């Protein structure tokens, strides 16, 4: 008998929708996704300073509905998602279990409380971790508070190693962990990269034929530290290495980054924001991805995308996917956040070294095959069935 599962998410995203479509093909569960609000182009582009809508289908291939959002100003913040009807929906037991994607907005708390009140299993899929370097007393205070409710979830759909460490730290039972790793549509990215005309693209972006290309892809905001990548390239140029930095994205720091690069005549191209159907072209042109984030990055799905295209990655030690995806001398390198010299040194090892790039790129592509939509679906189905087919276990809390 098929298990019925409700899924709550604040808004449609380019990363969740492929997972939902994959789940919808499972014969063992029947899903319906409930969204709290639909962002317009301006809201979607927040942080990029560019209004846009994702150019891949977000609502195709699975059942969904938009809840009535009573927030005064619907949005991404906590108060921007307020959907009281989720309580009645959970209480009705139309669904035998619910997947909640974190606890950042009010609607998610409304769902969590309803699940606890009415004894409906809650499967949590967040991506929190402990690498935010909080002060000891803050960590102790959080442990006292979070330790009261984090252990109460029926199952944990864990996205990676650091996420599992987080749940354990706050008292979660590891026997209730089911790996549902962060994943992208590996096949789509690989196919689009393979179809790209690299010679034409490098010419358009003014990249020399013999240059080693490093790629920064993300918002031009303080958290991402785009200037670190530029200054690292400057260090490499001072050493007369043939390198180029391709910067994809937009945001408040783009102007200062462009000014700095131009004033020093650095080999840096600003490609602007590239939507989902276009970003694989950048990966096709790149030799190595650079993600130097200085603030805690919960995962970094651009690493998944790059590795699906056979591109190794240099990431900072504040990037959540590091322990899972970036294996030293195999699929990339991890460097201390905010240390431009260390970043430049790591980049220098790849400059003019096509055999290293090719070997690590192949390893990266092999590794990321394990972080697939099929694997995420398998883990999700197993977690759902463990509560819907074993009522005694589901009611243990």
Give the total number of structural domains in the chain: 2
Asked if 168 and 233 sit in the same domain, the reply is no
**pLDDT digits over 337-347, tens only?**
999 999 999 99
Q: Verify that 234 and 364 share a domain, yes or no.
A: yes
How many angstroms separate the first and last alpha carbons of the chain? 25
Q: 176 and 28: one domain?
A: yes
Confidence of residue 199 (pLDDT cuts 50, 70, 90): very high
Q: Please give the residue range of the domain that contains residue 124.
A: 3-183+372-394
Residues 264 and 351 placed together within one structural domain of the fold: yes
Q: Report the pLDDT averaged over residues 221-236.
A: 96
Contact call for residues 235 and 202 (beta carbons, < 8 A): no
Q: What is the pLDDT of residue 241?
A: 86
Question: Are 123 and 227 within one domain?
Answer: no
Averaged pLDDT score across all residues of the chain: 94
**Domain shared by 247 and 297, yes or no:** yes
| Residue 137 exposed, middle or buried by CB count within 10 Å (0-12, 13-18, 19+) | exposed
pLDDT surpasses 60 at 353: yes
Model pLDDT for residues 161-179, shown as the tens digit of each residue: 999 999 999 999 999 999 9
Are 17 and 156 part of one and the same domain? yes
pLDDT tens for 97-143 read 999 999 999 999 999 999 999 999 999 999 999 887 666 667 677 77
Q: Is the pLDDT of residue 392 over 50?
A: no
Pair 332, 225 in one domain: yes
Residues 89 and 153 in one domain: yes
Statement to judge: residues 229 and 103 lie in one domain:
no
What's the confidence (pLDDT) of residue 302? 98
Is residue 154 located within the same domain as residue 190? no
Looking at the structure, tell me whether residues 39 and 80 fall in a common domain.
Answer: yes
Domain of 271, CATH number, reads 3.40.50.2000
Q: Could you tell me the pLDDT band of residue 145, with boundaries at 50, 70 and 90?
A: confident
């Amino acid at each position: 008998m098929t298990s019925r599962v409700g899924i709550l998410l604040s808004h449609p995203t380019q990363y969740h929708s492929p997972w939902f479509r994959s789940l919808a093909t499972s014969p063992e569960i029947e899903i319906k996704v409930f969204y709290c609000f639909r962002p317009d182009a301006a809201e979607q582009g927040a942080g990029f300073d560019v209004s846009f809508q994702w150019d891949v289908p977000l609502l195709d291939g699975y059942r969904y509905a938009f809840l009535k959002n009573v927030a005064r100003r619907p949005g991404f913040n906590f108060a921007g998602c307020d959907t009281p009807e989720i309580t009645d929906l959970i209480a009705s037991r139309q669904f035998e279990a619910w997947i909640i994607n974190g606890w950042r907005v009010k609607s998610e708390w409304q769902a969590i409380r309803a699940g606890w009140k009415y004894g409906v299993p809650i499967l949590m899929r967040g991506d929190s971790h402990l690498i935010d370097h909080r002060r000891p007393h803050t960590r102790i205070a959080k442990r006292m508070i979070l330790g009261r409710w984090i252990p109460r979830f029926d199952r944990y759909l864990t996205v990676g190693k650091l996420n599992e460490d987080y749940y354990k730290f706050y008292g979660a039972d590891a026997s209730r962990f089911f790996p549902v790793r962060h994943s992208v549509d590996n096949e789509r990215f690989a196919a689009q990269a393979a179809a790209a005309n690299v010679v034409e693209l490098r010419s358009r972006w003014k990249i020399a034929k013999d240059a080693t290309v490093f790629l920064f892809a993300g918002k031009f905001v303080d958290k991402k530290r785009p200037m670190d990548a530029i200054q690292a390239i400057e260090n490499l140029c001072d050493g007369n290495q043939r390198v180029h930095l391709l910067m994809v994205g937009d945001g408040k720091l783009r102007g200062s980054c462009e000014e700095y690069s131009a004033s020093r005549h650095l080999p840096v191209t600003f490609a602007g924001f590239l939507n989902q159907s276009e970003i694989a072209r950048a990966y096709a042109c790149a030799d190595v991805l650079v993600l130097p984030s200085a603030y805690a990055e919960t995962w970094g799905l651009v690493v998944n995308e790059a590795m699906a295209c056979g591109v190794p990655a240099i990431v900072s030690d504040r990037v959540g996917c590091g322990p899972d995806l970036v294996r030293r001398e195999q699929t990339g390198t991890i460097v201390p956040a905010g240390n431009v010299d260390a970043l430049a040194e790591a980049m220098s090892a790849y400059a003019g070294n096509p055999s290293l790039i090719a070997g690590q790129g192949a390893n990266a592509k092999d590794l990321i095959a394990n972080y697939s939509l099929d694997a995420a679906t398998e883990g999700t189905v197993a977690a759902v069935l463990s509560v819907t087919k074993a009522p005694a276990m589901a009611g243990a809390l």
